Structure 1
Amino acid sequence: MKFDAIVVLGAGVTKKGNLTRVCRSRVDKAVELFLSGMAPRIIVAGKGEACVMKSYAVRKGLTEADILEEDKSLDTVGNAFFVKRDFLLRNDWHRLAVVTSGFHLRRAKLVFRKVFGKGYTLTFVASQSVLLVNALKQKLYLEKGLTVLTGILGMLVADGDMDAIENFVLKNPLYAVYRRV
């Protein structure tokens, strides 16, 4: 199936400004899918890492025109919200492949399905695991707790209700700088 875009969720940068191994793995998977013809563009998502992800993808053979940057989000809910608002709604796109790590897949599915609601085709793809066993166990433990919190959001907001989700995102202290972006 051909998608309108492949979105790759950020996973941070190092103190030196390089992508983390987890983030590189996600971008590698998105580039692989792009080169296989899955979609005509990639959206790199995450404040602080989107521009680094784009540069990395260009070094892997893509052109700058192949890659769109979502550089406002600070978490998974923000990734989904800003990607939908700034790209899918503005371009009338409805089919998206989402690339993230296996340990993050469950929460990403919950969040993106909540934010997007009906009328969108979402496919989720796991990047190759690059974490050592102990680090992976820690990530899975953290993800379990965050997934519970995401479930609470799910009870408070109807699927696809962009006004309620925007209100949730913009009231989040993390997004204080973006009160009306």
Structure 2
Amino acid sequence: MASLVLAIPTAVSFLLFLARLRRDPRRFGNAVLLGLALVLLTVALLAQVASGSAPGPLVAAVTLAILLCALGVLALAFFLIVNGVQMVRKEGLRPASLLPGLAGLGILGCVALALTALGTDSTPLWRVARAVLLVAGYVSYLFLSFLVYAFLYARLTVRHDVDFVVVLGSGLIDGSRVPPLLASRLERARKVYEQQAARGNPPVLITSGGQGPDEDLPEAQAMAEYLTAHGVPEAHVVREDRSRSTEENLRLSEAIMRERKPDHRCVVVTNNFHVFRAALTARRTGVNGHVIGSPTAAYFWPSATIREFGAIFLHHKKVNFGLCVLLVLLGAASGS
């Protein structure tokens, strides 16, 4: 009975997700709705198994999934710690390099706190454990929703020709050279250009990035020189060399595109870990375009993904911190 009751909100959440996805895929609310639908579906399956009405194969599948999730949590924690060590070795001792290791230690800390609370009769410890686990559960829900939806969004394709391809900048090596991370964006943009040029409608490439304090020239200039050196005609490359952030990249590039063609279409190119947040920023800045990604070194993914999620979480900080405070109060106030 409980599983049937849960089927209605599950279906409603999923249908709302599909409707919002069709209207505009560049919304974090889409990720939240998809995550909610998956959570409700999971709870419905667990309720059916608990009621004894589930068929044997479903019971076996759910049991196996629970075991894999339990083992997966520990495996994830150790993987993040190992990746954190690798990041420090490759990127140096920086805050971004420490993120995976700190996340892994945080997971192990939550597990240790829960096990300790289970093994004691301490009411204060139980309240602390409940508060921590409720907040950890909320953050984990948002993070998994972000991961699943970011994975889906990155696989949406552009089915029509575009007028512009905007390449978001990043830091230069030795003040003037394009690093591999940025080169992968430029190669993806060049591929889009060549594919569309083969159909007789080559787009304009906009390289977007200003000059940092430790750089000898604007990122846009180094990016433009890279593209022309790799066969893109100089007449099809425009530089936006004043921006200092992703939001400025998009706002200033949008001004260039609007001036050249008010009813333009575009795609924005960044690295794959940055696609979804860039899409959210594009929507907020009024850019009429889809965001696509280029490959990133595997070891860099965990740290970059955690940073991307953290930026989105903090962008909605009033709601998120408010809910975290309520969850802490709920956990601390509940009975032993």
TM-score range, shorter chain: 0.7 to 0.9
Question: Which among 134, 142, 145 is matched to residue 310 of structure 2?
Answer: 145
TM-score scaled by structure 1? 0.75
State percent identity of aligned pairs.
Answer: 27
The residue that corresponds to 1:104 in the other structure is 274
Q: How does 1:113-124 map to 2 (within 5 A)?
A: 113-116=283-286, 120=288, 122-124=289-291
Answer 1 or 2: higher relative contact order, Cα 8 Å, separation at least 6.
1
Number of aligned pairs? Answer: 147
The residue that corresponds to 1:85 in the other structure is 255
Q: Residues 5 and 41 of structure 1 are in contact (CA less than 8 Å); yes or no, is this contact kept in structure 2?
A: yes
Q: Note the alpha carbon deviations across 1:69-107, whole angstroms, 9 max, x for none.
A: 111111110011101123324531421111111110111
Q: Per residue, is there more helix in 1 or in 2? A: 2
Shift of 1:149: 3.7
Q: What code does the residue aligned with 1:45 have?
A: S
Question: Which among 295, 312, 316 is matched to residue 128 of structure 1?
Answer: 295
Q: Residues 206 and 240 of structure 2 are in contact (CA less than 8 Å); yes or no, is this contact kept in structure 1?
A: yes
TM-score scaled by structure 2? 0.41
Would the alpha carbon gap of residues 84 and 16 (structure 1) be closer, same or farther in structure 2, given more than 3 Å must change?
closer
| 1:17 and 2:176 are equivalent in the alignment | yes
Q: Per residue, is there more strand in 1 or in 2? A: 1
The residue that corresponds to 2:206 in the other structure is 43
Shift of 1:16: 4.6
The residue that corresponds to 1:70 in the other structure is 240
Q: Note the alpha carbon deviations across 1:142-178, whole angstroms, 9 max, x for none.
A: 11122234446xxxxxxxxxxxxxxxxxxxxxxxxxx
Structure 1 unaligned regions, length at least 5: 153-181
Would the alpha carbon gap of residues 148 and 66 (structure 1) be closer, same or farther in structure 2, given more than 3 Å must change?
same
Deviation larger for 100-109 or 38-47? 38-47
Q: Matches of 2:268 and 2:282 in 1, distance apart?
A: 9
